[in-house]
A and B are shown apart, each in its own frame.
Chain A
Amino acid sequence: MTTLAEYLSTQHAVPGHAPWPRVLVDESAWSIALGALASGRWSLLDLWGEPGMIHMALLDSALPYAPAIGVASLAAPDGRYQSVAQFHPPALRLERALCDLWGVQPIGLPDTRPWIDHGAWGLRHPAGTASIAPDTPDTPYPFLPAEGEGLHQVAVGPVHAGIIEPGHFRFTANGETVVRLELRLGYAHKGIESLLAGTPLDRAARIAGRTSGDSTVAYQFAFARAVEAALEIAVPPRAVYLRALMAELERLANHLGDIGAICNDASFALMHAHCGVLREQVLRAAGAAFGHRLMRDAICPGGVAGDLTEPGAAVIRTAITEIHRRFPALVELYDNTASLQDRTVSTGILRPALARLYAAGGYVGRASGRDFDVRRAFPYPPYESLAFEISLRDDGDVNARVWVRIREVEQSVALVTRILDSLPGGPLDVEPPHANGPREGMAMVEGFRGDVLVWLRLDGQGNVARCRLRDPSWFQWPLLEAIVEGNIIADFPICNKSFNCSYSGHDL
């Protein structure tokens, strides 16, 4: 049994790729990697394309003290290559999206229905050959069948009853019990990867920060780190700490909002109202300190866009004190309300084996026993010098996900205080130098939802040649379909909110 590190060391390494290796593999080495994925020894982090080439990012966490990441690149001049999904189901939608966008032909792909392409672009394979094609808006999408007596279908979306992102859910139910849920996504597809190709660095950073609105800090952070890895820039310590401060504020705001919203989906509005107040206080503090409530465009490649002033830090401290004071009573309220627990306990159980197979990131994975947090597994500055705990459970239900997020709120509160206490002085950024020739970089950052992965190639003239942004939702959406099975339709909203996957981040 080869480890990923051994596998990578025996392949042809591509020069100028940092910090993890990228290797060119032939078809037999590609098969070896597929075997390791099928056996569950490695996990799939991402699968993406460019003309004539398929890239696969892999994670080997068999040795918890020495996890490894690497990219295997397979030349596919005619677009044909051996499908990953036939051996490793988590690759399925990534490969369907590859087919839609790039026109590749994975041999043995178990599901050849389009995924992102709804027949409305006037183009086929827009990222690849981009041939003109007539729109086919009326072509029905063939949902997977469910057969049996007394089954009926419920179609929801893409316009939902609430204020949420667009997506279609097709339930097949027997009475109230869901027999099968199938998602159809792609409604929010904006062609971000194509927009990023050939774009100047500053504009690319702006677009990357708008991949998923609730994770704008995480995306800017990961994008900046990938650029810095490619150009071998060391970011000044003050910028590094300010980035982590923003990342923890973003985590806090999202967790607080979602804990309330999950309870609201059980019609427990009191939690929602109180958590909403705390979330608003975090956003206002972020707005006062960084000039934008969601901290858009506050991180740039090379550093941060603005400094944190003394009054700004004081506003953040006030918000944190308020959470510290008010949150415990809300946790107690959650814990002691039997009618609420009745809705969350044993609802939407994600089995640990599935979480592991899909390498589910964030609280989805950690509530189902997957001990993975990028801040710990592949620590990036300043997290290697900050103490914090990772909450882990293995019951995998809505309640477990709520508790993991409650613990993460407490950890983020402590982290924000620690960061403010140890904030170093000094410059805020370094000017990204122009590299001689193309360079490639990769970065993974722990957003509130899970690991955000960015891979990019810079062309040496200050432009992004290619950029791939992978949201954790790619590996969480399919799990949502799995956990809803056997639950009642009325519990779907609470299951869905306990995952809170991104539509825009997935659809790109």
Chain B
Amino acid sequence: MRKLLFQSLVRAPLTETPPLPEGAAIAEVGASLAERARRRLGRSLSIREVDAGSCNGCELEIHALNNAYYDLERFGLRFVASPRHADLLLVTGPVTKNMRAALEFTWQAMPDPKWVVAVGDCGRDGGCFAGSYAVGGGVAAVLPVDLHIPGCPPPPVEILKGLLALLDSAATRPGS
């Protein structure tokens, strides 16, 4: 183990330069963030993830954000276990009817101010599962969504761009 740890010390870090946040995403987020909330948020965000019936593809890519290449926590972004500790609800899946109540409970358990980010194509409108008796029409049909990150699933770098856009719009808006 010592050898591995030592090698990791002398090796150049794998972590990559962060991507620039997407312009369109910034605009969407900017419109949804109140000034007071922006001041409170600063450049730190606790995220509670809820799988509302996804195929698990989005979860795999969200997981990847924690690996050495993306190292999410360097941006002050971290995943938390309890909705009580969360500022942001990251939702995947078309919102199956069997998950709708649990998703709403999670949202209600979060303190204000709070945001919702829908990840993936089925989070937007049900994606390829739209029209089924068992799913609703995406996250926005249940919760007020501040930002959509499209893709099936979106690669980690796209999720990162979206989340950074959320932070940047909080930090750079005049008057905040």
Contact = CB atoms under 8 A, between A and B. Distances in A.
B13 to A, nearest CB: 11
A126 B52 CA distance: 20
A330 B4 CA distance: 9
Contact of A190 (B50, B51, B129): B129
A158 B50 CA distance: 9
Contacts of A164: 51, 59
A502 B56 contact: yes
Contact of B1 (A213, A277, A294, A333): A333
A399 to B, nearest CB: 18
B57 A294 contact: yes
Interface string A150-170: 000000001101111110000
Interface string B48-63: 0111111111111111
B70 to A, nearest CB: 8
Given A187-B96, A293-B61, A270 B134 contact: no
A277 B68 contact: yes
Interface magnitude class on chain A? 35 or more
A194 B56 contact: no
Given A158-B99, A187-B102, A296-B152, A210 B67 contact: no
A214 B56 contact: yes
B101 A213 contact: no
A246 to B, nearest CB: 15
B68 A276 contact: yes
Contacts of A329: 3-4
Contact of A165 (B56, B97, B101): B56
Interface string B12-37: 00100000000000000000000000
Contacts of B62: 163
B132 A214 contact: no
A313 B171 CA distance: 43
A161 B128 CA distance: 28
A186 interface: yes
Nearest to B99: A187
A216 interface: yes
Given A123-B133, A137-B101, A213-B56, A165 B51 contact: yes
Interface string B38-50: 0000000000011
Nearest to B50: A159
A507 B132 CA distance: 14
Nearest to B66: A276
Interface residues of B, number: 52
A312 B109 CA distance: 47
Contacts of A189: 53, 96, 98, 134
A192 B129 contact: yes
A143 interface: no
A50 B67 CA distance: 45
B93 interface: yes
Interface string A301-333: 000000000000000000000000000011001
A289 B44 CA distance: 36
A191 B134 contact: yes
Contacts of A287: 155
B114 interface: no
Contacts of B101: 120, 137
Contacts of B79: 162-163
B55 A191 contact: no
Given A194-B132, A270-B4, A280-B64, A188 B54 contact: yes
Given A273-B67, A333-B4, A503 B135 contact: no
Contact of A191 (B61, B67, B133): B133
Contacts of A163: 49, 51, 59, 62-63, 79
Interface string B102-141: 1101100000000000000000000111011111000000
A66 to B, nearest CB: 36
Given A137-B101, A163-B79, A187-B102, A212 B56 contact: yes
A118 interface: yes
Nearest to B14: A277
Contact of B98 (A126, A130, A186, A203): A186
Contacts of A293: 61, 155
Nearest to A277: B68
A210 B99 contact: no
B53 A188 contact: yes
A336 B55 CA distance: 36
A390 interface: no
Interface string A98-128: 0000000000000000000010111100100
B81 interface: yes
A165 B81 contact: no
A124 B135 CA distance: 15
B116 to A, nearest CB: 15
B94 to A, nearest CB: 7
A81 to B, nearest CB: 25
A280 B64 CA distance: 7
Contacts of A159: 50, 83, 102-103, 105-106
B5 interface: yes
List the 7 closest A-B pairs by CB distance, nearest first.
A213-B57, A161-B81, A191-B132, A191-B134, A213-B56, A276-B67, A213-B55
Interface of B: 1, 3-5, 14, 49-64, 66-69, 79, 81-83, 93-94, 96-103, 105-106, 127-129, 131-135, 152-153, 155
Given A188-B53, A191-B133, 16 more contacts: A120-B101, A126-B133, A130-B133, A159-B83, A159-B106, A163-B49, A163-B79, A166-B53, A188-B54, A188-B96, A190-B53, A195-B132, A214-B57, A276-B64, A277-B68, A296-B152
17 contacts: A120-B97, A121-B134, A126-B133, A165-B51, A165-B59, A166-B53, A186-B98, A187-B99, A191-B134, A195-B128, A203-B128, A213-B56, A213-B58, A214-B60, A216-B57, A280-B64, A293-B61
